[in-house]
Amino acid sequence: MGMPTEAQPAPLARSFLQLMWLASPALPIGGFSYSEGLEAAINAALVTTENEAGDWLVQQLHLSQSRGDMAVIAQAAMAWQATDLPRIAELNQWVRTTRESSELRLQTEQMGRSLVEWLRNRHADQAAILDTVTWLAAQDASYPIAFSFAAHCAGASAHDALLAYAFGWAENLVQAAVKAVPLGQSAGQRILARLTHEIPQAVACALALPDEARQAFSPMLAILSAQHEHQYSRLFRS
């Protein structure tokens, strides 16, 4: 008796699994090595407890991520569907020029470059995707732009891509808080639950945001990031 033939996964299941992969902290793009200003906030005694860490990350989700990088991903999703590379280049330039500190710019460059290389290995036998990957590398693709293309390759909607992006961001930053505050793992899970509750609203905001309302104005985050660049002792690269 032969072995039963396994059913091929439906396109929706494949897309879902690809998004889980993209959101995973195990993806080798270095997200775990950044705190995005959180470590400097801890050093300045602005974040010292579970509640303060949760408040900080919820505010960062809504005030910074949703109105900035997540809005870029939402708009890039439409551009990828239309194969509008000039629009992608414009969005990428916006991300790179709105980083308010050297370390935040280096973060998006490094994570974008690593994700582009991951895509090159992941799709080594798909010439059309490799052509776009080569173009992204030449553009010095930022992380949101590289992520938007990876989600496009997975066949994900803009809504689902943003859910995956936001959850991956939340998981990395919660782990940074667990290490640096420090907090216990149970506290980290409670913070992650708070963020998970807030993510759908942040996604809806990002999807609805027009170009003229997209912004990266986070003065406290910029100040703390600049201070972190010269912080004497630190665990994270940002």
CA distances from 47 to 53, 54, 182, 183 (A): 6, 9, 10, 11
Q: Characterize 105-119 residue by residue with b for buried, 16 or more Cβ atoms within 10 angstroms of its Cβ, and e for exposed.
A: bebbbbbbbbbbebb
Whether residue 127 contacts residue 112, with contact meaning beta carbons closer than 8 Å, is answered with: no
- pLDDT at position 233 is 86
Domains of the chain from N-terminus onward: 48-228 (1.10.4190.10)
Question: pTM of the full predicted structure?
Answer: 0.93
Residue stretches of the chain with pLDDT short of 70: 1-10
Q: Are 129 and 123 spatial neighbours (Cβ–Cβ below 8 Å)?
A: yes
Backbone angles phi, psi at 215, to 5 degrees: -155, 160
pLDDT at 100: 92
CA distance 73 to 79: 10
pLDDT at residue 9 in the model: 57
pLDDT of residue 1: 44
What is the rounded CA–CA span in Å between residue 156 and residue 149? 10
